[in-house]
Amino acid sequence: MKPTQLNYTFKNLLFLFALLVFSQANAQTPQVPKEIRFADLTLRLNEQARREIQLDVDALYRNPTYFKTKLERVNLYMPLVERELQKEGVPTDLKYLVIQESSLIADAVSTSNAVGFWQFKKGTAEEVYLRVDSQIDERKNIISSTQGAARYLKKNNAQFNNWMCGLVAYQMGLGGAKSYFGTQYNGKKVVELDRNTHWYFKKFLAHKVAFEGSKVQLVSNTGYLEEISIQGPTTLKAVASRLNVTEAHLKEYNKWTSKGQIPGDKPYSIVYLKSGYPTNPAVLTEATNQAGSNIDYTNTKYSQSIRQANAYPKVSGNTSQATKPNQILVNDIEGVKAAVSTSQDEFTDQIGMRTGKFRRINDLDKNEPVQAGEYYYTAKKSTKAEAEVHVVKKGETLWSISQKYGIKLSALKAKNRIREDNHLVPGMVLNLQDHRKRGEDIKILPLNQQNQTSSTATVVVQQTSQPPVPASQETKQAAAQQSISHTVIKGENLFRISQKYGVRVNDIKQWNNLSSDNIQLGQKLIIFKP
C-alpha cells in the first residue's frame, strides 16, 4: 500500500472512531422534548427553544468527570432539598435551581457576592430570616438556605400564580420580573417557549432535563447525609464526639459556622455523612430512591415474587354480585365490595354483620367511612400473605397494602417494624411473610426497576368463562374501585390537591371535566387513587 493510501485509510479510521465516540456520547445525553411538565405548568417548546436548551444540556454532559462529581453532590443533598421544599408547599421541580445556582457547593461565591447553596446576597438572606454575620452564615446551611429559598420562591409566585415567572424573579428580583413579564402569564398554566423566553428559565430547564433524565444514574456510594437539630450553645467538636465522627468531618459539611461555634439563639441543623442507606423516612425521597440502591432485584429471589404481586387482590366467585354478602372471595377470604360510600353502621346493616366485628377485621378506625369501590373482608384476614413481598407505590398506606393482600395490619407492621404511613417510601420492599431481621435495612428498589415490576391492576378470577377485558378498560375499572371525593378547602388549588394525592393536575381536570385550572371553595372533585 502506498504511503498516501495509508494516510488516507488512517484518516478515515480516525474519522470513524471520532464519529463513534460522538454518537455514544450523544446517545447518553438526554434529549429535550417538545413538551415539558414543570410544577403545575405545561411548557411547549418550539424548535429554536429546544435547540438552545439542548446546547446547555450537552454542555453539562461534556465533561464526564465534572458531571459525575456534581451528581455525587446531588445524591447527598437533594433528598434534604426536596423535603424542605415539600414542607413549604413549593413544587419539588424547583430543586434543580439549587444545582444551577451553586452546583451544591456550600461556600460558593458569585461575582456579585451572592453566597451559599442558593446564592443569596446578604440583604435578601435576611429578608427570608437567615442569619448572616461573622459567626454564622446560614446561606451555607443546606436546610436553612433551602427553607429561605422556598419562602422567597413562594413570595414571588404569589405575585404571578405562575412558577416560571416566580423562578425568573429569583434571578432578577420581583420588581424586575414584573417589569419584564407584565401580567401576560399570570395564572396561565400552558406556556409557549421560544427564542424570546428568558435565558435564566431556559438554563433552568436544561438542568431539569439533564438531572432528571432516565439515563442519569446518581453515582455516590459514600453514604447519605443525616440531619440533626442542635440547640446551643455548644461546638462542633462537642457534637462530633457524640456522633462518633471527627470535628474535621463536621466542619466539612457545616461551613455555616465559621469557627465551629453553635450559638444558643435557636436550634441549628447539622448534617454529617453516614454509611449505608437512610433509615429516617424524612430523608427517603424519590431522589434517594434513584440514588440510594445498587441492588439489582431482577437477579435476586425477590424478582418473581414482586412480579406476582401485580395479581392482588385476587377476587373470585360470583363477581357480578360482588356488592352482596356471601358472593365473593377476596384473596381466598370471604369479602364484599362497597357499592357506594357510606358509614360503617349503614354498610354493616346492609351486609348483616356487627359493626365492631367488621371494623376489627378490616383494621378500620371508628369513624372511618366505607369507600365506594373498595373490597372489604367479612372474615378474618391472615397473619401472612400468599405473596412474599410488596413494592410500595406512591400514595399507598399500610392499611391499603394490608387490604390488597388480605394480611392483618398489625402483622404487616410487625414483619417490617414500621408503624406509621409516613415511614413508607416509593420502591420500599415490604415483607408479607417473614419478619425483617433486627438491624436489617429495608431494601429500596431503584426507580428504573419499580416501573418494571409494579402495577395497580386488579386481577379478577371469574368462575364462568367470559371474554378477556381489554387492558384499557380493566385499568379504568381498577381506578374506579379506588375513587374518592375531595372537597376543595380555602387556599387549595389543583397543584396542591395533586400533590396531596400523588396524581397529576391534568388527570384531575380530565376526571372532573374541567376546562381550566379554576376551582371553587367547597367544590367536590373525584380523585382516583394511584
pLDDT tens figures, 228-277? 888 889 999 999 988 889 999 999 999 999 899 999 888 899 999 987 65
Sign of CA dihedral 292, 295, 301, 303: positive
Say if CB 259 and CB 133 are below 8 A apart.
no
Report the alpha-carbon distance of residue 83 to residue 102 in Å, rounded.
19
Grid coordinates representing 215 are 439515563
At 474 the pLDDT is: 38
Q: How far out from the chain centre does Cα 87 lie?
A: 13
Q: Would the pTM of this model clear 0.85, i.e. be above it?
A: no
**171 phi/psi in degrees, rounded to 5:** -90, -40
Q: Highest mean pLDDT range out of 82-86, 143-147, 236-240, 418-422?
A: 143-147
pLDDT, mean of residues 134-150: 96
- The β-bridge partners of 315 are 330, 460
DSSP state of 422: G
Phi, psi angle pair for 192, to nearest 5°: -90, 130
Residue with the larger pLDDT of the pair 483 and 61: 61
Q: In the predicted model, what is the mean pLDDT of residues 36-55?
A: 94
CB 421 within 8 A of CB 276: no
Tell which wins on pLDDT, 181 or 308: 181
Task: Please tell me which residue, 499 or 467, carries the higher pLDDT value.
Answer: 499
Residues in the chain: 530
CB–CB of 363/402 below 8 Å?
Answer: yes
Residue 60's closest CA among 70, 52, 50, 51? 70
How many Å apart are CA 477 and CA 336, to the nearest integer?
16
Distance CA 382, CA 461 (A): 20
8 A C-beta contact, residue 283 and residue 83: yes
Classify residue 266 by its DSSP letter: S
- Using only C-alpha atoms, what is the Rg of the chain? 27
Cβ–Cβ under 8 Å, residues 484 and 371: yes
Q: Are strands 333-337 and 328-330 parallel, antiparallel or unpaired?
A: antiparallel
Q: Residue 304 — very low, low, confident or very high, per pLDDT cuts 50/70/90?
A: low
The H-or-E segment that residue 522 falls in is none
Across the range 317-329, mean pLDDT stands at 88
d(CA 319, CA 310): 19
**Interior CA angle at 194 toward 190 and 198, to 5°?**
90
Residue 292 has pLDDT above 60, yes or no: no
Give me the pLDDT at residue 19, please: 42
- The better pLDDT of the pair 116, 297 is held by 116
pLDDT in the model for residue 434? 87
pLDDT in tens, 92-115: 999 999 999 999 999 999 999 999
Positive or negative: CA dihedral 331, 335, 340, 345: negative
Beta strands in 247-293 (DSSP E): 261-262, 268-274
Query: What does the pLDDT read at residue 230?
Result: 87
Q: Answer whether the bond into residue 313 is a cis peptide, omega within 30°.
A: yes
pLDDT class for 519, splitting at 50, 70, 90? confident
User: 270: closest CA among 142, 372, 105, 408?
Assistant: 142
Q: CA-to-CA distance for 7 and 17, rounded, in angstroms?
A: 15
The closest alpha carbon to 199, from 183, 216, 180, belongs to 180
pLDDT digits (tens, 9 = 90+) for 478-509: 444 457 888 887 667 776 677 677 777 777 87
